[in-house]
Structure 1
Amino acid sequence: MNSRRALIVGISDYASAPCLSSCVDDAVAMAQRLERNEDETVNFRCQQLTSAGGGMVTAPMLRELLHAHLDQSFTGDTLLYFSGHGAATSLGAHILTYESSQYSPGISMRDLVDLANKSRARNVFIVLDCCYAGAAGNDEEVVGSFENEARLREGVTILAAARPRQGALEVAGHGVFTRLVLAALAGGAADIRGRVSTAGIYAYADAVLGALDQRPIYKSHTASLEPVRLCRPTVSDEELRRLPRIFREPKTRYTLAPSYEETFEDVAIPEHVALFKVFKRLQTAGLLRCEIGLDLYWIAARSQMVELTPLGQLYWELANAGQI
């Protein structure tokens, strides 16, 4: 049984609030991206709730599904995604549902986070693309409060599209934040092992958005960075595990020779050529560098040396300790 499930919500149609253009498309694209890893293995089992075709997503309907996804019987990983209107009133910050009004605004962000905190899920990932999304997880969720402190139990992470007192925008068919999250999940935020974490997604979005754009918010209480999606790695785990066998110590230098370059057909040795290709991947991943800054081809041609970068030395240590 798959131990990962997601509730993906996109609300474009509202009875009173202005209708939005991209929220349903946001939800559909997010579900498609999360359902499988890049190698097509199953990732999250996604349930979608959208206003497609004029559907009315009401607060009771959404609340029932939230309770189902965060019930006490589920101990795997769960992800909650919302694209739609957000509001902050005297009642606190809310995600708005179809029938929302001033005094009945929808689902309280406080209630949403309380459900996540009380659930038995190993990890709860909350992704909110709406105005005022950064208020989720704060002790005080009322606009105008400056001294807010996030209260999350271990395993809960919030990725919010904007600050607690900031709007979230739509551009070219998607929410600005969702577009970045989709790109990050497609590999833009993957580490060298192909893992896309919430911290990586936030770093990707933070780097892309300019100082005057809406600013994403990241709140997390985790002991480890569990990947949200797996992409194809730059360097395989098998190759990383070989590092201590190739380099005796983290700072050991390795001398190449013309026999490592396959274009030198008269002296090339198949085992050396295979290792040289591994070195190329290590260099692309930022784990290996040439001692004097030349291309690997010339390092081999001149029988010069390569060495691990500080990041490469870290992965050497991990491999040597049996942690890869």
Structure 2
Amino acid sequence: MRGALIVGVNEYSFGELPGCVKDAQDLAKVLHRDDFNKRNFDIDLMISDQELITQKSLRKRIETLFSTNSEVALFYFSGHGTENNLGGYIVTQDAEKYNEGISVYEILQIANESNARDKIIILDCCNSGHMGNLPLVKNDMALLSKGVSIITATNAKQNSYNTSSGSLFTSLLIQSLQGGAADILGKVSIPGVFSYLDQALGFFHIRPLFKSHVESLVSLRDCKPALELDILQKITEYFHTDDFLFPLDPEFEPTFDNHVIEKVKVLEHLQKFRDARLLLPIGENHMYDAVMQSKKCGLTAHGKYYWLLVKNGLI
């Protein structure tokens, strides 16, 4: 079982923050099912145009999310964030001075105590980086409970980038889940998501934050793979060692008059390896030229990594 609490707050007494409800709705849609239309997360969508989001109501839903023994419990918030001398807060609609909302420290405490296998917190709000600067996790990752991962849109002192059509951070988050951060088998992990966000946001001089204490990586969403598993597993059949150079000749090319059907099928697989950046032709820029000139192809560093995984039965 996988559960996600997705929260978006547009309306505040001190002014509207446009786009947060849309962000929450768009993210909920992507997380609910994977690329194969298989059910992924059970979604609890909490948005300000359908209900009043108060400290009490939000805290209850957060506690409910993390009270289960689920495989993954994911909390996402899009709205205002603030800070005071005690730290950072996600701001609820009943916010008032000295009582702005729910502290990020409290959210982390709830996640730390959860029996869910993986606990994921994603905050898209100003000053959200306070989540990573708490005494509970600062300078000692062991104090971040096992299975907890945090991604925030900004560091502790930055504002998030938000427009009426949604935030930049969440639009990139959604793109990462739709395949931008997928590995060769189509699996989207939390480190993959952060890497995607970090590189994309660097252009805007926005520094997201990532902290994690996990022993294995869970896939947040399955996308269409760059390479089918049964073809990937042939990598050790075609390449006996990771530095083996596979010999090519014109019989692999389907347009060659004397082509060999079995070799043509192998070339189809090798082309897919090339498309997935697992191999390169040696001495030529294109596989066609390498085939027609009877050259060889070899595994890239990326290809050698997957060769090792297949060789050891890890894929």
Q: TM-score, normalised by structure 2?
A: 0.95
* Equivalent residue letter for 2:22: D
Deviation at 1:185, TM superposition (A): 0.9
Distance change in 2, residues 1:36/1:212 (3 Å): closer
- SS at the partner of 1:159? strand
* Overall identity of the aligned pairs, in %: 34
Partners of 1:172 and 1:64 in 2: CA distance = 29
Distance change in 2, residues 1:130/1:148 (3 Å): farther
- SS at the partner of 2:134? coil
- SS at the partner of 2:22? helix
Matches within 5 A, 1:138-287: 138-140=133-135, 151-171=143-163, 173-210=165-202, 213-264=205-256, 266-287=257-278
* Equivalent residue letter for 1:278: H
- SS at the partner of 1:294? coil
Partners of 1:90 and 1:172 in 2: CA distance = 30
Which residue does 1:58 correspond to in 2?
Answer: 54
Distance change in 2, residues 1:79/1:105 (3 Å): same
Is the CA contact 2:75–2:121 (under 8 Å) kept in the aligned structure 1? yes
- SS at the partner of 2:100? coil
- SS at the partner of 2:59? helix
Instruction: State yes or no: 1:25 paired with 2:25.
Output: no
Which residue does 2:128 correspond to in 1?
Answer: 133
Partners of 2:115 and 2:227 in 1: CA distance = 34
* Equivalent residue letter for 2:98: Y
- SS at the partner of 2:45? strand
- SS at the partner of 1:97? strand
1:221-279 CA-to-partner distances (Å, cap 9, x unmatched) read 11122111111111122122111111111111111111211122x21222211211111
Partners of 2:236 and 2:175 in 1: CA distance = 34
Is the CA contact 1:21–1:173 (under 8 Å) kept in the aligned structure 2? yes
Q: TM-score, normalised by structure 1?
A: 0.92
- SS at the partner of 1:322? coil
Which residue does 2:303 correspond to in 1?
Answer: 312
1:176-226 CA-to-partner distances (Å, cap 9, x unmatched) read 110110111111111111111111111111111235532111111111221
Partners of 1:18 and 1:316 in 2: CA distance = 55
Is the CA contact 1:138–1:149 (under 8 Å) kept in the aligned structure 2? no
Is the CA contact 1:75–1:121 (under 8 Å) kept in the aligned structure 2? yes
Partners of 1:81 and 1:273 in 2: CA distance = 48
Which residue does 1:47 correspond to in 2?
Answer: 44
Which residue does 2:64 correspond to in 1?
Answer: 68
Match of 2:32 among 14, 20, 35: 35
Instruction: State yes or no: 1:13 paired with 2:11.
Output: yes
Partners of 1:202 and 1:292 in 2: CA distance = 36
Deviation at 1:152, TM superposition (A): 1.3
Deviation at 1:167, TM superposition (A): 0.9
- SS at the partner of 1:187? helix
Is the CA contact 1:255–1:306 (under 8 Å) kept in the aligned structure 2? yes
Ranges in structure 1 where 5+ consecutive residues have no aligned partner: 142-146
Distance change in 2, residues 1:212/1:194 (3 Å): closer
1:154-194 CA-to-partner distances (Å, cap 9, x unmatched) read 11111100001111121361111101101111111111111
Deviation at 1:149, TM superposition (A): 6.0
Is the CA contact 1:113–1:137 (under 8 Å) kept in the aligned structure 2? no
Q: How many residues align?
A: 313
